[in-house]
Amino acid sequence: MSARKESIGFIGVGFMGQGMARNLVDKGFPLTVMGHRNRKPVEELVAVGAVEAKTAKELAARSDIIFLCVTGSAQVEAVVKGESGIVAGAKPGTVIVDCSTSDPTVTVKLAAELEAKGLHLADAPLGGTPAQAALGQLSAMIGAPPEVFARIKPACEAWAQKIVHLGPVGDGHKMKLINNFLSLGYAAIYAEALTLGQKIGITPQTFDSVIRGSRMDCGFYQTFMQYVLERDRDAHKFTLSNALKDVRYLESVANEAGVANPIGNAVKNSFATAVASGKGEDYVPMLSDWIAGLNGTSIAGKG
């Protein structure tokens, strides 16, 4: 492996992306970031050594490996294939790494289109929180050919403490949707369980005194309950609208595979009712307030 660090481009320096990008700079990778409607993270990264590009085309011209941390497949395709997109500026051999939670069907198709142009696509969706991103402690589930995986691994190690190479392109996004089905399914169950408890005289504090430290405890439970018990809005900064997108992608994959997913549909509808009622920018643990409100109660008080 060459000692030279490849030049990195980073598009999407939001909640997760800013911490990831900062770790790349701190670990010595030459970094170019693209302008963002929220100027603060861009300016903070430029202040520590990143270069700002005005367009994806300009960023691609400066980069060997480009990380995308955007909302989903539609945004990935726009930034890759748009008029001033990555394809317009990338040199042959450039690797695009999609860290978004995207539709695996779209990912596989886009990878084939890019290979025909001499470019490579890997999917590397993330596990973890913005706080873990800042600490370089995310996990990455990667779909890529072995030679592409070998190229991107050193850069991924700058921001991830657990990296799993699952298989070919698309496998990362498939696994990520299954992973998010588990986490978002738990969110829907926690919200319903807390509401039921409150209605029958079991406060969230009592509920937590039994679950915490038991076999049902986990990292996701702890950040969820950090909001419920401490009303810490930033405990898990992942919006309900993004959660709904992910469980809709899961539904699409299940439909294509011919798999009945009634529990997946129930989870989707918990999020869909909240988003349809204007709660889309709330964060996932706040689903608990929505479900409680539907049932004429509140779990916000101290018990």
Q: What CATH number has the domain bearing residue 49?
A: 3.40.50.720
pLDDT tens readout for residues 6-39? 999 999 999 999 999 999 999 999 999 997 788 9
Domain of 193: which CATH number?
Answer: 1.10.1040.10
Query: 116 and 237 share a domain?
Result: no
Query: 129 and 181 share a domain?
Result: no
pLDDT tens readout for residues 182-211? 999 999 999 999 999 999 999 999 999 999
Instruction: Please give the tally of structural domains in the chain.
Output: 2
pLDDT tens readout for residues 255-297? 999 999 999 999 999 999 999 999 999 999 999 999 999 999 9
Asked whether 173 and 149 are in contact (CB, 8 A), the reply is no
Rg of the chain on CA atoms, in Å: 20
Using the 3D structure, point to which of 137, 168, 199 is the last residue of a domain. 168
Amino acid making up residue 50: A
